Amino acid sequence: MSEQLAQWLIESGCTIAFTGAGISTESGIPDFRSPGGIWSTSQPVLFDDFVASEEARVEYWRQKSLAAREFADAQPNVGHEILARWEEQGVLRGLITQNIDGLHHLAGSRKVQEIHGTARQVTCLDCGWLDDVGTWVDQYMVTRLAPRCPECDGPLKHATISFGQSLSPEVLEKCSGWARESELFLVMGSSLVVHPAAGMPQLALQQGARLVIINATETPYDDAADLLIRAPLGETLSAVDLAVQKLREPEGGG
């Protein structure tokens, strides 16, 4: 299966990767549904509640300060690194991620669309002011108050898409475009249930792309996939990368 995927990666004129929380579990960040994850103990704060209520904003920051510990020390794993190398080598055209952990950027990927934003920054809901997240989590830990914008006193929130918040139309447009242009659409570590992000494989399929899914558990697209690999990402991508690098070697070289 690794050889088959490697062959398709080399043949494809446009490969788009799509990643979810599963690519970061091997970096120690729990995925959405795992028992130890934050959602097993806390109800996520809905966007409308965040906007409406100071109590909800404080609860939001309490949850984020807990999650910050998971994120702060996490490093890209072999999967992130291979995807970054594939971009550099022209094997990948672009990468759409549902993740907010910033690990693809840390690994060196540059053509990345973070469809749900990034938890590495905070933004002001009123004026759009942006800043790195670190000092704001620290401030919350000391004051236990929801931080406010130094420019306009508006509420500060992670630069992520919260539950009930609309996705950025520009980012969504870019991702949809990539999905439609793709000849090979490679899904990794996503349960493909969170919409509209999970609609991307459908867009790719409608334009005749090949669909490949590497995921530990089942997804609603498994039957539609041209290739389905139900195995851990780190070892799978390592095997595929070995085969890719072999195919890239010049004839008679070595």
Residues at the interface with Zn ion (CB under 5 A):
124, 126-127, 129, 149, 151-152, 154
Q: Which does 151 bind (CB under 5 to 8 A by kind): Zn ion, ligand NAD, none?
A: Zn ion
CA 123 to chain centre: 19
Smallest gap from Cβ 228 to ligand NAD, in A, equals 12
Sheet containing strand 117-124, edge to edge, reads 130-132, 117-124, 156-160
State yes or no: is 104 an active-site residue: no
Residue placing its CB nearer to ligand NAD in the complex, 163 or 206: 163
Least distance from ligand NAD to the Cβ atom of residue 177, Å: 20
Distance, in Å, from the CA atom of 229 to the CA atom of 1, rounded to the nearest integer, reads: 8
Among ligand NAD, Zn ion, none, partner that 175 touches (CB below 5 to 8 angstroms by kind): none
Write out the residues near ligand NAD by the rule CB under 6 A.
Answer: 20-22, 24-26, 29, 31-33, 98-101, 116, 189-191, 194, 215-217, 232-233
149 binds, among Zn ion, ligand NAD, none (CB under 5 to 8 A by kind): Zn ion
Using alpha carbons only, how large is the chain's radius of gyration in Å? 19
Bond from prior residue into 232 cis (ω within 30 degrees of 0): no
Amino acid at 179: A
Instruction: Extract the tokens encoding 202.
Output: 């459908």
**Of 133, 71, 137, 69, residue with least CA distance to 106:** 71
The smaller minimum CB distance to Zn ion, of residues 25 and 123, is found at 123
Alpha carbon distance 246, 24 (integer Å): 26
Is 52 or 193 the residue whose CB approaches Zn ion more closely?
A: 52
Active site residues: 116
